[in-house]
Each structure stands twice: as structure tokens, then as C-alpha cells.
């Protein structure tokens, strides 16, 4: 029984990996997302079209999994739960490392660029992967409001953007700009202290 139950699983997981890796290979070879059909992906992965559709309802869902598999190497930080300042630094440092990874990986860059140019796909990426990271930031900010480390009179969404926005402006919008070590600390401390002289 156990054998029978377990037999199918590695096979399905292997198919998932094969399909995701096929997409990565095709993108590495320079294929644009527009050229990739579910049919072609299935054929190149050596599996049936129905098998691919059973796992992913469409190409968009599949591409999100491709991006997730690429981002899985970048460990999302767990807040330590002591200093709110240090946890915010940890989260911005993750965005800095992700920006560096994107710069050094042509495939990661290609997948993100393609996802970025398809508004629905971009939105789905933001609503899942990015939203999960934002929730973690909100949680740290709410903790800071409770402990008195963060002003309680500001909207948490605005607060999150004050910290995250400056890092994203460099890491995502101006990819040729330096992302030096210590940038996360400098942003967090400047936003906490304010830029008006005391």
C-alpha cells in the first residue's frame, strides 16, 4: 500500500521539475514567452499536453512557478523578532540580494522582464510572491507600532513603501545602479530618523 501510494509521487514531482526546467532551457536559448505554447513546452519536456494542463491551468501559472523556482535559491528572511530596525534591515537586505541575483542571472532577468511586460502576469506575481513578502513587512511594522519603535499615526502601506520603495527604485527600476553592501542599513536608518536635521 505504502509503496503504491508513494510510487506515483516522485513521478509527478519529476514531471513538474522536467517541465519547469524545459521552460528555463527554452528561455535560456532565447525563446520569448510569446513563442512558448503549452504544446511546445509539453513536447520539449517529453510529456503529454494533458499532463502539463493537469498541473497548470495555463502558461501564466506555469511561468509563475518558473520564477518561483528561480527565486527559491534566495532564502526569504525570517524576522528575528527583537529589534524592529534590524528586521527591516534584514528584509531590505533580501531585496538587495535579489537585485544582485537578477543582475548576475540572464535567465532570471529574462523571466522577470517577460513577466513584467505581461500586465496580468505581473499582477499575479505581485499578488502572490511579492504580497507574501509585503505581509511579512507589515507584520514587523505593526510590531514596531505596538512596541513604540514606529510611529502609530501612519498608514502601514505607506510605511512599507517608505522602506521598500527606495531599495526597489534601484534594484528594479535602475538596474545598472550599484547595490553596495550597507545600503539596507542606510535606507532603514534614514527613514527611521528622517532627513530633516534635528
User: By the criterion CB under 8 A, which residues form the site for a second copy?
Assistant: 113-114, 116-117, 119, 123, 126, 148-152, 154-155, 158-159, 161-162, 164-170, 172-176, 183, 186-187, 190-197
Residue nearer to a second copy on the CB measure, 41 or 171: 171
Residue nearer to a second copy on the CB measure, 46 or 157: 157
- How far is the C-alpha of 24 from the C-alpha of 110, rounded, in Å? 10
Residue nearer to a second copy on the CB measure, 59 or 170: 170
- We find the least distance from the C-beta atom of residue 74 to a second copy, in angstroms, to be 18
Backbone φ/ψ region at 179: left (φ over 0), alpha (ψ -120 to 50), beta = beta
- We find the least distance from the C-beta atom of residue 171 to a second copy, in angstroms, to be 10
- We find the least distance from the C-beta atom of residue 194 to a second copy, in angstroms, to be 3
Residue nearer to a second copy on the CB measure, 19 or 136: 136
Residue nearer to a second copy on the CB measure, 27 or 159: 159
- We find the least distance from the C-beta atom of residue 35 to a second copy, in angstroms, to be 11
The strand ranges marked E within the chain are: none
- How far is the C-alpha of 149 from the C-alpha of 83, rounded, in Å? 9
- We find the least distance from the C-beta atom of residue 195 to a second copy, in angstroms, to be 5
- How far is the C-alpha of 77 from the C-alpha of 133, rounded, in Å? 9
| H helix and E strand count, the chain | 10, 0
CA-to-CA separations, 196 to 27, 40, 94, 156, in angstroms, rounded: 47, 57, 28, 22
> In terms of Cα–Cα distance, which of 53, 60, 55 is closest to 11?
55
> In terms of Cα–Cα distance, which of 165, 192, 14, 5 is closest to 86?
192
Amino acid at each position: 500500500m505504502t509503496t503504491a501510494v508513494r510510487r506515483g509521487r516522485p513521478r509527478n514531482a519529476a514531471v513538474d521539475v522536467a517541465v519547469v526546467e524545459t521552460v528555463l532551457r527554452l528561455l535560456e536559448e532565447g525563446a520569448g514567452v510569446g513563442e512558448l505554447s503549452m504544446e511546445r513546452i509539453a513536447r520539449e519536456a517529453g510529456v503529454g499536453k494533458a499532463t502539463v494542463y493537469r498541473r497548470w491551468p495555463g502558461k501564466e501559472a506555469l511561468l509563475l512557478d518558473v520564477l518561483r523556482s528561480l527565486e527559491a535559491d534566495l532564502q526569504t528572511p525570517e524576522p528575528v523578532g527583537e529589534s524592529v530596525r534590524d528586521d527591516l534591515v534584514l528584509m531590505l537586505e533580501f531585496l538587495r540580494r535579489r537585485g544582485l541575483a537578477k543582475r548576475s542571472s540572464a535567465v532570471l532577468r529574462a523571466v522577470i522582464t517577460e513577466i513584467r511586460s505581461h500586465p496580468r502576469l505581473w499582477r499575479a506575481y505581485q499578488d502572490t510572491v511579492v504580497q507574501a513578502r509585503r505581509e511579512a513587512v507589515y507584520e514587523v511594522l505593526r510590531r514596531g507600532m505596538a512596541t513604540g519603535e514606529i510611529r502609530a499615526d501612519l498608514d502601514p502601506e505607506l510605511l512599507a513603501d517608505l522602506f521598500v520603495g527606495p531599495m526597489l527604485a534601484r534594484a528594479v527600476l535602475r538596474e545598472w545602479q550599484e547595490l553596495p553592501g550597507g545600503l539596507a542599513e542606510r535606507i532603514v536608518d534614514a527613514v527611521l530618523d528622517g532627513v530633516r536635521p534635528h
